[in-house]
Structure 1
């Protein structure tokens, strides 16, 4: 390990659109971690729970709109200045633009609440995923952590974890099981990816 790797903490930036429970879990996981820190949480929703949670945890909370994300390079330039080792999508619903993906190759990851390639793609997020899984009478579901490319949920898989589905499960009870998997595994996989880069 180089001196730089041992003295410079790894930097994470999180993108989230929703309530931000995964973002909060990741922030708290790395709070007492000398080698890694969360720099900021970005959200496309001005009043998202994710920004509120970040603010309460003294993490920079940044809102942006479509213009800043897709057309003006404002978000890209902010990311260049921060130079994160990993960009983590934690319930972020917009398709990532190719200019950001190209700037940070193999440094952007996403979590999906199903076992890809099943139940992925545009419009498949949150309750919609769990409703579809239950409707198809699947015996198991889970999470997929994957690299981000220019298509929804089609980047290379990094990690999957599964949970069984009981006949009595509803979309709500399945969502609870999936959240438990996310909270347990997502920070650990992030840490493993960052340590692998050392």
Structure 2
């Protein structure tokens, strides 16, 4: 059984999707054992408490630098014996120490079809504002492994939705959350916990059987 830590900063809707999936038995061979928030007042911590999951706070203001915060987070995650780190609306940029401590073991969900509308400055509603300004007909969400390049890690899964003529950033955001993010993220987490994700350069292959992953790792 793999231990999962979910890093959050706000309301925790993607965390709730993971909690609900866990309750349905869909996080095969995985369990959420920690929720860590960069914001002490984040509602995500209430979601964790309601689900009986230990919650922790790692506020950026409590550390002299991003590197110091990252080092503290790595120590905390290692101390909790975490196997998979999930960034679910975590609004703090972590330094390379995190990726090096958890290579190909950090998943992020991004509310666009990477490489479109990704990278520095593309977060939250800004992503959907940019998509509408550009006039795209499709948008969606991407789950990817985290690398030292912002939104640049290997892509695990993507799903698209239609952009409608009367969409506002808020309406498009909600559609992408409901139809893409809340489905893709639990699926990707479950595949990781089953050892069914194999990274080959920039490509992520989904293995048919978990034992294939173990053989390929040997």
**TM-score normalised per structure 1:** 0.89
Where does the alignment leave 5 or more consecutive residues of structure 1 unmatched? 1-8
Aligned to 1:46: 40
Q: Provide, for residues 99-147 of structure 1, a one-character-per-residue CA deviation record: whole Å limited to 9, x for no partner.
A: 1211111000100000111111122111111111111111000001111
How far apart in 2 are the matches of 1:137 and 1:74?
A: 42
Tell me if structure 2 keeps the 8 A contact 1:31–1:37: no
Judge which range, 65-74 or 103-112, deviates more.
65-74
Root-mean-square deviation (Å):
1.7
Give secondary structure in 2 for the equivalent of 1:15: strand
1:53 Cα shift? Answer: 1.1
Where does the alignment leave 5 or more consecutive residues of structure 2 unmatched? 197-209, 211-218
- Structure 1 stretches of 4+ moved >4 Å: none
- Say how many residue pairs are matched: 190
Q: Does 1:157 align with 2:140?
A: no
Q: Does 1:71 align with 2:68?
A: yes
Q: How does 1:7-86 map to 2 (within 5 A)?
A: 9-31=1-23, 33=25, 35-66=29-60, 67=63, 70-71=67-68, 73-86=71-84
Give secondary structure in 1 for the equivalent of 2:161: strand
Q: 2:127 aligns with which of 121, 126, 129?
A: 129
Q: Does 1:148 align with 2:146?
A: yes
Tell me if structure 1 keeps the 8 A contact 2:143–2:184: no
1:37 Cα shift? Answer: 0.8
Q: 2:117 aligns with which of 107, 116, 119?
A: 119
1:32 Cα shift? Answer: 5.1
1:35 Cα shift? Answer: 2.7
Q: How does 1:149-188 map to 2 (within 5 A)?
A: 149-180=147-178, 181-188=180-187
Aligned to 1:192: 191
How far apart in 1 are the matches of 2:139 and 2:29?
A: 33
How far apart in 2 are the matches of 1:143 and 1:51?
A: 24
How far apart in 2 are the matches of 1:95 and 1:184?
A: 25
How far apart in 1 are the matches of 2:56 and 2:4?
A: 14
Judge which range, 23-32 or 134-143, deviates more.
23-32
How far apart in 1 are the matches of 2:122 and 2:110?
A: 9
